[in-house]
Amino acid sequence: MKQVYSSISEARVLPELIRLDDNLIAAKFFLMKLLPAKFILERALKNGDINEDTVVLESTSGTFGLALALLCNQYNLKLILVSDPAIDVHLNNRLIELGAVVDIVTEPAAVGGYQAVRLERLASYRQQHPNHFFPAQYENKMNPGAYAFFAEQLISAFGSIDILVGSVGSGGSMCGTLRALRAIHPQTMGVAVDSNMSMLFGRPDGGAKRIIRGLGNSLMPQNLDHSVFDQVHWLNASEIATATRTLHKTHGLYCGPTSGAAFKVARHLATLYPEKRVVFICADEGYRYSETIYSPSWWQENNIVESERQAKAPRCISEPTMDVQDWSYLPWQRRSLAEVLEPTSAVSTA
Amino acid sequence: MNTAQQEQRPQATAERAVVHSQTHIGHGAAPCHHGELLQGIFEESNGKETLGLVTLLHSSAKAKATFIPDPDSLSLTVSPTYKLKALSSVKLTLQELGLPDMGGHLICASCISEELGLGSSTADVVAAARAVCDANQRTLSRETLARIAVCAEVASDPIMFESSTVLFAQREGHIIEEMGPLIPAMSLLSFTLGEPIRTCDYRAPQYSWEDLQQFKPLRGLLRFALANYDLATIARVSTHSALINQKHVPKPKFDAVLSIAEQGGALGVQIAHSGNIVGMMFSPDDHNLLERVSLCQGRLADIGVYQSAFHSTF
């Protein structure tokens, strides 16, 4: 074990493994996106795809941008991030302080919203800077590939784990970790947690109504391989916010909402299967959410309630499109999205 | 030694005798190995990617070497005369000891089959270095021995590390990681697949980043298995490593061997990645060990592997 690290990215790239119960383990990252960002950038540096004049370009309003900013600062690389007004002011300040240029698009496109304008802006930067590097977290196979480091850490500590639970955004962490774990233990169960306002697993997209950021998406990332999951769970905003604060109240882990959502499902599975070892992913810390998830006034403004009526266990559904507003889950059984959405046609072609 | 010369230069002989008064005939030995448990490309703590391996030590067969210092000669000789790597190990060791002018004769006696990937030449090299040290009543660290071995050969297995399990950079001669305690004893059914590969002819595979990532969980699993003295898990690691190797340096009939091992109740399979030796791994505590082994031997004969030997690594 190293005692002195050469950089923040080296020191904080892997999570701390914290046992919350006999069979429930939190994998608590400082900033999970450091792992893929570091892997992608450092390999590009090694291969000579990046030189001192290269401009790194990415479209992001979240933690992948922060990870890139930390690394580009460390390696003295120019970084341009294209973002939209949803970016929070503290993150924006931090990115700028680390030396990134943050270009915030102001007007959404009639078709495709902010995302379309962001991609358009990104394309023009790519043209403007022929010597650029585009990490492309949503389609770069090195994003999931980077999580072999995490799988090594889990296997080194536990030998095997039975159930891995995590929220899904780009698909990188869950798909990459599961693939690496299953190279050795194919039976490892993969459980995805999504927002009930997200289209990632076949529900209608809630768009701006998806008030909790970090899990779910309005676009389908290429890196999301649905067929790695054994179960998919959907949670509503109140359930996610409550679980995030419960994680803090009961275990002192001050994390973001993706962690809270994963914790809720993981705790349920750990209780249900006391003989199984359950690991869940805490992808970031809670400080970014002090004015949202951890703020009583935000709860009021958004009608977030810690209701006694919140479901103690998920309702099992057979189709993602079923109109269920509370915690629900679907036995996904490692099928593709098409197979889940149209089970009959998949059977008939088989 | 030339008697006529000695008579002509009595003075010189006397001086050398004083210089070498601390020397006597030195003996050294080194174990062979039975291929590897894990071989691939690994990240070092400084981020560098290095070819590395974890050897399966096999102490029952040893290479022995005797070094006879010759105070009258500046030259170094070896018998059998083709053991040139062992001879070069003598030169390197003498340099390391600050005795570059010492002459002498090295006798290698080894019962290790050559070119099977059992590390016969590394064993000669290490035994020779130890014999030279013994002759001069000096010792060298395991790390220095490793460096000498890699200099004397192109690549070397870490057989000089006999008290712990190391992930070793076989072409650079340093430890990538101290993995844990020694590998627990096991029973091995060993045989060969395909033609022998000479170490100097072996070319390391070109690993992609996907390959690099594949070795990470295996490295983690080996760390876990060693810490828990878990032979079955160690066998899983070696089987996986052999499977990855099939993509790069395929061994004939390997799939058939794997299914024989699986059906025959072996814990797993391990190979010499740069040789043709293969081992089916069994728990020595298995009550049905002999039945299982003879079953596997029979099935191996069915696929044309007639010669196999059963032994233990302890």
ipTM of predicted assembly, 2 dp: 0.88
Chain A residues touching residue B230 (CB < 8 angstroms): 159
pLDDT of B65 reads 95
Per-residue pLDDT tens over the stretch B188-234: 999 999 887 766 667 778 888 998 899 999 999 999 999 999 999 99
Per-residue pLDDT tens over the stretch B140-173: 999 999 999 999 988 888 999 988 999 999 999 9
* A162-179 average pLDDT score: 96
pLDDT of A184 reads 92
pLDDT of A257 reads 96
- As a whole number of angstroms, the distance between CA A132 and CA A109 comes to 25
B218 touches chain A (CB under 8 A): yes
What average pLDDT does chain B have?
88
User: Which distant-in-sequence residues (6+ apart) come within 8 Å of A257 by Cβ?
Assistant: A212, A213, A214, A215, A240, A241, A244, A289, A293
DSSP single-letter state for residue A228: G
Tokens of B203: 């070319």
| 8 Å CB contact of A42 and B216 | no
- As a whole number of angstroms, the distance between CA B189 and CA B174 comes to 30
pLDDT of A14 reads 95
The CB-side HSE value for B65 (13 A sphere, CA atoms) comes to 35
Chain A residues touching residue B223 (CB < 8 angstroms): 156
| 8 Å CB contact of B210 and A145 | yes
- As a whole number of angstroms, the distance between CA B78 and CA B67 comes to 9
Q: Which residue of A has its CA nearest to B216?
A: A152
- Supply angle C-alpha A68, A73, A77, rounded to 5: 85
Q: Which residue of A has its CA nearest to B233?
A: A159
The residues of chain B scoring below 70 in pLDDT are 1-22, 115-116, 198-201, 314
pLDDT of B314 reads 64
* Percent helix / strand / coil, chain B, rounded to 5: 40, 25, 35
β pairing state of A278-282 and B103-110: unpaired
pLDDT of B201 reads 67
Per-residue pLDDT tens over the stretch A260-300: 999 999 999 999 999 999 999 999 999 999 999 999 999 99
Contact B32, B61 (CB under 8 A): yes
pTM (2 d.p.): 0.89
| 8 Å CB contact of A148 and B209 | no
Q: Min CA distance, A200 vs chain B (Å)?
A: 26
The shortest CB-CB distance from A155 to any of B210, B213, B221 is to B221
